[in-house]
A and B are shown apart, each in its own frame.
Chain A
Amino acid sequence: MKYMILVYGSQPDYDSMAGPATSAEELNAIGEFLAEFTGELAASGELLDTQGLATPVLARRVRLRDGVPVVTDGPFAETEEVIAGYWIVDCVSFDRATELAVRLNKAPGRIADAGVVIRPVMGADYDTD
């Protein structure tokens, strides 16, 4: 079964990571935790894809208003928690995916109020290419 595991963060979370509010050691600890987590998933063959997403101010929202595309730059409210990264995994059960999400909750650094969300992937033949 395929699942998408989502982690969240707000603009202040990103800003904190980008500046002196987070020390190099703290950032390094987060990096190492994630590298180990992802490395094990890759080694076990469960990992299909993973990406971290850049700061929300770089986001764009595109909508049609009366048939005309309207583009809004950096469209999120300051404290809104948005998707900060994801893992797509292929694992034996929802329980296993839950286990992974539990582990992510123990990552160093602030864990978003949204927690870690698991979404089963629709259909059976997801292709990462």
Chain B
Amino acid sequence: MGNDSFEDLVRRLAPQVLGALVRRYGRFDAAEDAVQEALLVAMRQWREHGVPEHPHAWLLRVASRKLIDLLRAEQARRRREDVAASRELPSEWNSPSDDADDTLILLTLCCHPSLTPSSQIALTLRAVGGLTTAEIARSFLTSEASMVRRISRAKRTIEDSGVPFRMPSETERPQRIDAVLRVLYLIFTEGYSATSGPQLHRACLAEEAIRLAEITAVLLPEDGEVAGLLALMLLTDARAPARLNEHGELVPLHEQDRRLWKAESIRRGVDLITRALPRGEVGQYQLQAAIAAIHDEAPSSEATDWRQIVALYRLLRKVSPSPVVELNHAVAVAMADGPTAGLALLDALDDPRLARDRRLHAARAHLLELAGEPDTARAAYLRAAELATNIHHVRYLNARAHSLGKDTT
């Protein structure tokens, strides 16, 4: 993080300044607004006049003034005694050693279980990521005004729930960290899965999720799941350059040009997960990252260590069972032991959540094709295409069906 731009610097300092302000005044709601305003001023002034000598202190001073203005206005509205105004301007109260804790507290606060996922995401991006409301609104294709409302409501919920600004207790902590990881992963998938619309902004979300996971990994160096999540993001993002062809069509993993994958991301991801795995209890992110690492390191689909992947999916089924994990497990078994074994597993899945899911039918189709049953494979591809709502998926599935023979209908 040595030679970052002033924008990166502003955004890196944002949670530290916010943490210091909330510690001092105890008003998360207003402090967050004040920091947002200070960030906007900094972006404007630093661009023109350069970064001040003590950027942290500069931001703190501007944000404190904004906060005092806000509290004053509020006091005036309430026609009460002007207590906030009589508070002294802070000078050197903030010790840098608190910054790391503050950022972690902010993360757990923004991902508080009383908030909806969309609010958690918006608040995390603003309060910890230092993104402006306009940037967040653009990423989610909504208006700035409605994003402002969503963020204000989220902050009010936090204020009303009376959560103190401190580290969650030992007993609470694992769940709260889990919630943080889930939110970061949601931000990542939101950015990564976008295959249409203004892709640029969405790609930024994946990048931002990786940045936030990196910050979290620095704050919690002993946590295997945090390392696992960061590794999973890096190893997934590594394939992004090969995921769509020049026409924007989806390219399945086994057909991707692996030379396009980002070698540096793979190296970092593999390194992270290799060091995390032996450290102790293995969770879902570490397992998913380990699976991604095997794919990323294989020279081709055929040369992939499918047995190892099957073993990892078996663990994942225990740690974090879900219909999609069952599906992926069945496909891995097919790749390791032949399509018939995989098909048997798929047929045994009678999860109602999957019956109308294109992924089940697409997986079946793929395995039937491998098993040398083009007619049933074609029908399954067509069924999957019917159920898909993403135009790129629909086209891919129809094209597969088409390649297996003429339409009889």
Residues of chain A at the chain B interface (Cβ within 8 Å): 17-20, 24-25, 27-28, 31, 34-35, 38-39, 42-43, 45-50, 54-55, 57-58, 90, 127-129
Identify which of B28-36, B308-316, B383-391 touches chain A. Answer: B383-391
**Partner of B248 from A27, A38, A54, A128 at Cβ < 8 Å:** A27
**Partner of A90 from B134, B143, B200, B249 at Cβ < 8 Å:** B143
Kindly list chain A residues whose C-beta atoms are within 8 Å of the C-beta of B247.
24-25, 27-28
Is A31 in contact with B248, judged by CB distance below 8 angstroms? yes
Kindly list chain A residues whose C-beta atoms are within 8 Å of the C-beta of B389.
54-55, 58
CA distance A47 to B197 in the complex (A): 13
**Partner of A31 from B141, B196, B398 at Cβ < 8 Å:** B196
**Partner of A49 from B141, B200, B398 at Cβ < 8 Å:** B141
Nearest CB in chain B to that of A48: its residue: B143
CA distance A59 to B141 in the complex (A): 24
Is A42 in contact with B398, judged by CB distance below 8 angstroms? no
Nearest CB in chain B to that of A89: its residue: B143
19 additional A-B residue pairs with CB within 8 Å, beyond A20-B398, A20-B402: A17-B391, A19-B402, A25-B247, A28-B248, A35-B196, A39-B198, A39-B201, A45-B134, A48-B142, A48-B143, A48-B146, A49-B141, A49-B142, A49-B143, A50-B141, A57-B386, A58-B387, A90-B143, A128-B143
**Partner of B198 from A28, A42, A127 at Cβ < 8 Å:** A42
Is B402 in contact with A47, judged by CB distance below 8 angstroms? no
Kindly list chain A residues whose C-beta atoms are within 8 Å of the C-beta of B391.
17-18, 27
Kindly list chain A residues whose C-beta atoms are within 8 Å of the C-beta of B143.
45-49, 90, 128
Residues of chain B at the chain A interface (Cβ within 8 Å): 134, 137-138, 141-146, 149-150, 196-201, 245, 247-249, 385-387, 389, 391, 394-395, 398-399, 402
A18-B198 contact in complex given A42-B137, A48-B142, C-beta closer than 8 Å: no
Nearest CB in chain A to that of B392: its residue: A27
Is A18 in contact with B142, judged by CB distance below 8 angstroms? no
CA distance A55 to B398 in the complex (A): 14
Is A129 in contact with B198, judged by CB distance below 8 angstroms? no
Kindly list chain A residues whose C-beta atoms are within 8 Å of the C-beta of B387.
58
Kindly list chain A residues whose C-beta atoms are within 8 Å of the C-beta of B199.
35
CB of B245, distance to nearest CB on chain A (Å): 8
CB of A51, distance to nearest CB on chain B (Å): 9
